[in-house]
Structure 1
Amino acid sequence: MAREVAYDASQHIAADGIADPYLRPAFSRKNRLVRLLWQLVWLTLYRTSPRPLHAWRVALLRSFGATMGPHCHFYPGSRIWAPWNLRCADQVTAADGVEIYNPAPMHFGSHSILSQGAYLCGATHDYNSAAFPLLAYEMRFGAYCWICARASVGPGVQVGVGAVLGLGSVATRSLEPWTVYAGNPAVALRARVNTSGIPVMETVLEDSLT
């Protein structure tokens, strides 16, 4: 899937007389205020909650606009930049140390797993522009995919159904369904056995999330 910019800060944020473009905010004041409120909630109510209270953390995420299917397990050490851009089917897991940087929507299919310390980066900057604007990408992680511990997924990368990104690997290109990847940059190593019953050529997400 081609990378398409979902949010370009230069098209949303006016210069407002600020001469140095690097000093311009990338998001509206409302967005920044809501993120500040979410950070306070994360610090006081989410991060401090006992590990078994997945339903409590899911409820907090939903209160900030996240779409969460049943049986999602988000651990207290996981961090979500913008809950309102989080779209989860059922049984999505985000372990401690997971960081989801999602200025644009990120979609997670059924039974997708993010292991400890995984980092999902949903934005970059246009380094060829003098204004250096933030560019955010909508991203999709297919059902039964597994992003292993300490692995990173770059902006705009799409992860196919059942794909595996190995320990500490860095995905700079989209991952094909039912394929195991490893390395920096990640390369395909072998096919993964499809035990889910989902056809290999099916889209990266269930129809209900597209």
Structure 2
Amino acid sequence: MKKHNQDTFTGPSFSLKNRIARMIWELVASVLFHLSPKPFHSWRAFLLRCFGAKVASGVHVYPGVKIWAPWNLVLKEECGIASGVNLYSMDKITIGRRAVISQGSYLCAGTHDYTKSGFPLITAPINIGDYVWIAAEVFIHPAITVNEGCVIGARSVVIKDIPAWTVCAGNPCKPIKKRIIQ
């Protein structure tokens, strides 16, 4: 976990360079990314690469995805990110090969230290493994790893790392059973 400032009430959490880059990204995203037709996955991948994202081949990022900082994204082969997903990439977010992030899910790579009077920002990476399915409206906290092959049930809240090849659900999210591919 990284602390970015000591007092969020008196100053910004990120550098001027970061804030300007995000402002430019938001402008480009609002015109060229969000308004692009659904099948134009290669176009959106190109735009993300232009802003520093590491995007592998065959990635499907839909136009309704909200991305805070594309330079903090790693999207591996053939992953899919549905419209309505929010990638709050204040820190690195990695999405594995053939992973699917369903509509309305929120991956949040930042939080605040509520034990300090200045409420400092803390960021930590999120890692989504290969062959994972994050179902609709799941919330994933910072510093979480969802290991290979997991299924996270709809509207779950993930606050701890999830073991590989399990089906998990709930608030807080807990393993229910093994995931067996037939």
Q: Scaled by the length of structure 1, what TM-score is found? A: 0.84
Partner of 1:79: 66
The SS at the match of 1:10 is coil
Partner of 2:167: 180
Unpaired stretches in structure 2, ≥5 consecutive residues:
none
Structure 1 consecutive aligned stretches of length 4 or more whose deviation exceeds 6 Å: none
Q: Is 1:56 paired with 2:51?
A: no
Partner of 1:10: 5
Unpaired stretches in structure 1, ≥5 consecutive residues:
12-19, 196-210
Structure with greater strand share of residues: 2
Partner of 2:87: 100
% identity of equivalent residues: 41
Q: CA deviation at 1:194?
A: 4.5
The 1-side partners of 2:157 and 2:97 are apart by 23
Partner of 1:113: 100
Partner of 2:56: 69
The 2-side partners of 1:83 and 1:21 are apart by 23
Written as runs of structure 1 = structure 2, the 5 A alignment for 1:1-210 is: 5=1, 7-10=2-5, 21-194=8-181
Computed over aligned residues only, the root mean square deviation of the Cα atoms, in angstroms, reads 1.3
Is the contact between residue 178 and residue 194 of structure 1 (CA under 8 Å) also seen in structure 2? no
TM-aligned CA distance change 1:45 to 1:181, over 3 Å: same
Is the contact between residue 107 and residue 126 of structure 2 (CA under 8 Å) also seen in structure 1? no
The SS at the match of 1:38 is helix
Counterpart AA for 1:126: D
Is the contact between residue 21 and residue 130 of structure 1 (CA under 8 Å) also seen in structure 2? no
Counterpart AA for 2:57: P
Is the contact between residue 72 and residue 93 of structure 2 (CA under 8 Å) also seen in structure 1? yes
The SS at the match of 2:44 is helix
TM-aligned CA distance change 1:193 to 1:172, over 3 Å: same
The 1-side partners of 2:179 and 2:93 are apart by 24
The 1-side partners of 2:53 and 2:8 are apart by 32
The SS at the match of 2:9 is helix
The 1-side partners of 2:75 and 2:138 are apart by 20
The SS at the match of 1:34 is helix
Counterpart AA for 1:9: H
Counterpart AA for 1:163: C
Counterpart AA for 2:74: R
The SS at the match of 2:54 is coil
